[in-house]
Amino acid sequence: MPLDQSLRDRLADIVGAAACISDPAAMAPYLHEERGLYHGKAALVLRPGSTAEVAAIVTACAAAGIPIVPQGGNTGLCGGAAPHEDASEVILNLGRMNKVRGVDGENFTITVDAGCILADVQRTADDAGCLFPLSLAAEGSCQIGGNLATNAGGINVLRYGNARDLVLGLEVVLPDGRIWNGLRALGKDNTGYALRQLFVGSEGTLGIITAAVLKLFPKPAEQATAMCALDDVDNAGKLLNRARALSGDAVTAFELIPRIGLEMCAKHIAGCSDPFEAPHPWYVLVEFSSSRPDARIRASFDALLETAFEEGIISDAVIAESVERQKALWRLRESLPEAQKHEGGSIKHDVSVPVSRVAEFIKTGTLAVSKAFPGVRPVPFGHVGDGNIHFNISQPLGADKAAYLAQWGEMNRIVHDIVVGMQGSISAEHGIGMLKVEEMEHYKDSVELDLMRRLKTAIDPQNLMNPGKVVTPSRASRK
């Protein structure tokens, strides 16, 4: 249904003229999508300043049958925050709702508007003497609402869990415009269904998250970081197990980097260089931390490196002796996606397998894609401590980028078949968005898919909340 002038006027009244954007140039940044895979159009971009305004927008749009695309920092990697091409949708961007509603150091909680930037939440927690552990390379621009809507992972999942594990309560505007105030700050609440968990990971398809109560933790008192060099990716799993055992489970990060990825960073990203004198096939960035001042983190770290050397698990290691050195090591890991962009097209797979099968997956996957697409350059990296591999395949040197990317679906199928054969997941942390709707339908158990569709229909019967993302109505009932 087209957005008529009277509804446009009504929506502009709700948010104020400055927050109602229809000028194509001003709208452009909201239509931009991180990977450039989608080029949508919107009827309007609205930037509400309060939950009441969000509710009023949703109520008005629901009455007129206008679909809404919730949008946070627009850093998502599956096209979930991008509108479709028919310009029928309204983008509802949460960026103006960026207030911290309160920090409760005694109960280790923070209550924030959904539009708060992740890095600002981390800083506010830090100022209060606490830690908010969610951390990812997009933290300077992604928002808490987006982090929860995608159930973001990042580098600290091993120790603190995904976004899902960090949320105690939510405030949500439902597809009919009602506000659900579930802003509870309880560690235990067994009064029926855990509704908040329905909205976490729903990618804006069930409602708009407007605020959240998040868990805080004591700040680490001691931390140690090193980059370890490995001759064989098989050794990554052994290193992780030794690290967990020797540290008393104080491993907070365990990130894999292949030689080709390190070379790409050193070549394309300012401030990145190889920390080792000789090249090695694989690297793992390991971090231990503890909030106990007497945890002797550095001593157990040294013990790990000594044991790993003796057992032939690692062939070299560089310990970060200063904060600058620690940042330089992390910069290598965090620059990988950007560095890969300079090498032409990259076909992505954000997948997970049981941790014990990570090396097997990388080897099998590399063989399979290299056989099917000769000359491709696999760059498998990521949060392997969680079994999560970003199995990104750079185009052959000198290949045509568009022609290479046209093989996206074909390559996905080869890789995802291997993943599913290993009881893994075709989306470990980035979600489904528009990118993987059909892929998920292909692999998901029919009972699970049916439950998801029933939930979607029960909560959003008009299919107006981010339609076409995550789960589509069943083919039989689709209009």
Ligand X SMILES: Cc1cc2nc3c(=O)[nH]c(=O)nc-3n(C[C@H](O)[C@H](O)[C@H](O)COP(=O)(O)OP(=O)(O)OC[C@H]3O[C@@H](n4cnc5c(N)ncnc54)[C@H](O)[C@@H]3O)c2cc1C
Q: Which residues bind ligand X (CB under 6 A)?
A: 34, 69-77, 80-81, 94, 114, 136-138, 142-143, 145-147, 149-150, 152-154, 203-204, 208-209, 337, 429-430, 433, 466, 469
Question: What minimum distance in Å lies between the beta carbon of 199 and ligand X?
Answer: 7
Question: What minimum distance in Å lies between the beta carbon of 45 and ligand X?
Answer: 12
Helices (H), 281-386: 297-310, 323-334, 336-341, 358-372
Question: What minimum distance in Å lies between the beta carbon of 211 and ligand X?
Answer: 9
Contact between 285 and 329 under an 8 Å Cβ cutoff? The reply is yes
CA–CA gap between residue 45 and residue 67 (Å, rounded): 12
- In the bound state with ligand X, the residue whose beta carbon lies nearer, of 73 and 387, is 73
> φ, ψ for residue 297 (rounded to 5)?
-60, -45
Question: What minimum distance in Å lies between the beta carbon of 296 and ligand X?
Answer: 30
Question: What minimum distance in Å lies between the beta carbon of 98 and ligand X?
Answer: 11
- In the bound state with ligand X, the residue whose beta carbon lies nearer, of 138 and 353, is 138
Residues 6+ apart with CB under 8 A from 68: 57, 58, 61, 89, 90, 91, 92, 208, 464, 465, 466
Taking alpha carbons only, the member of 59, 10, 52, 50 closest to residue 176 is 59
Contact between 333 and 255 under an 8 Å Cβ cutoff? The reply is yes
Q: Parallel, antiparallel, or unpaired for β 316-319 and 350-352?
A: unpaired
AA identity, residue 479 = K
Question: What minimum distance in Å lies between the beta carbon of 4 and ligand X?
Answer: 24
- In the bound state with ligand X, the residue whose beta carbon lies nearer, of 8 and 35, is 35
- In the bound state with ligand X, the residue whose beta carbon lies nearer, of 85 and 306, is 85
Phi-psi region of 461 (alpha: psi -120 to 50; beta: other; left: phi over 0): alpha
Please report, for residues 160, 297, 329, 330, the alpha-carbon distance to residue 326 in angstroms, rounded to integers and kept in the order given.
Answer: 20, 15, 5, 6
- In the bound state with ligand X, the residue whose beta carbon lies nearer, of 280 and 383, is 383
Question: What minimum distance in Å lies between the beta carbon of 409 and ligand X?
Answer: 21
- In the bound state with ligand X, the residue whose beta carbon lies nearer, of 87 and 397, is 87
- In the bound state with ligand X, the residue whose beta carbon lies nearer, of 67 and 72, is 72
